[in-house]
Structure 1
């Protein structure tokens, strides 16, 4: 794990916050900022732009977890949360909020580094999976548009599917455009004329 990560620590107890910062620095991270109240999280994230957020909460509640997902931009950075106690609903709420690591039984200094490493790895995996899912959805939508454009040409010109695709492809090459852009323009024009 890179040593030049910027880490934001949210811990209400100043002594415990100092212990966490010391543990992070002992692990090789020097760009560490502390925040005493979760209510200031949004402002601190804008100010410090951390690579990861570490939150220590004794007793989380659903409102805090929902607020966390809104202000910490869990899609942009991993969030590791240490809690003293939880239940099934709170655990699910934390996962829904995008928390990358949710550790029950509190924060122990010897677990900080492996938990952060796990949070980052899980965050990167989830980001990769989301990217692949988005690409698959785009490809499926593009396929539908292309099939629809071919169908329009097949009906209007009385040509085969292969000839319809060739015509779309040739038009795209002649105009220096992507095949999907030509297909979308054809579908849009057909929708306007129908």
Structure 2
């Protein structure tokens, strides 16, 4: 059996100070239903945290596999804290809300939210929602790694071409001014690099720099 997914929920306090506040009571009940649904589906609910400036430190300590934001429209600043807290250690973010205003969906997805769910907190919907969110997150992370690897390879190729040009120019200078063959010029560069414990391209660049100063 695979280990249960470790989840941190970002949500307001369930304690409602004013029993006449119907909206707060509804939010608390919805939030409680979400947490019960997570537990019923076998997830490891490691903590329920407020969305505040201490969130990054708390997530670093808890190391959850996924972060769920349980918020209404007036608590969307919690999402901003979550995005900032996971910037250096990306994790799938799922946002549950009863707010029917979908104008924020594009911004939420652009900020890194893997799933944005409006209403629908029945327990049987939670697992497929989180499975899809995790799969999407892993796919996006794989694409980012592939892109990063491609950029590294491109930069390494550009650096290799640059170094080759520098070495060829230095060889050409030695061949021209000292009457050396290409092999002799290369051997001299290599020996100088070994004697001085430098890279071949660094020795070549020094020769070009001195030649430019003396020209």
Give the TM-score normalised by the residue count of structure 1. Answer: 0.72
Q: Assess if the C-alpha contact under 8 Å between 1:17 and 1:34 holds in 2.
A: no
Gaps of 5+ in 1: 176-181
Q: Specify the structure having the higher radius of gyration (Cα).
A: 2
Q: Which residue of 2 aligns with 1:41?
A: 55
Alpha-carbon shift at residue 139 of structure 1 (Å): 0.4
Provide the rounded CA distance (Å) in 1 between the counterparts of 2:88 and 2:74.
17
Cα distance, 1:154 vs structure 2: 2.2
Query: CA contact under 8 A between 1:66 and 1:93: conserved in structure 2?
Result: no
- 2:65 matched to 1:51? yes
Q: TM-score, normalised by structure 2?
A: 0.66
For residues 95-106 of structure 1, the aligned pairs below 5 Å read 95-105=109-119
Aligned to 2:8: 8
Deviates more, 1:72-81 or 1:127-136: 72-81
Aligned residue pair count? 175
Conservation of the 8 A alpha-carbon contact between 2:7 and 2:65: yes
Match of 1:156 in 2: 170
Greater than 6 Å deviation, 4+ residue runs? none
1:62–1:93 Cα contact (<8 Å) kept: no
Q: 1:186 matched to which residue of 2?
A: 201
**Aligned-pair Cα RMSD in Å:** 3.5
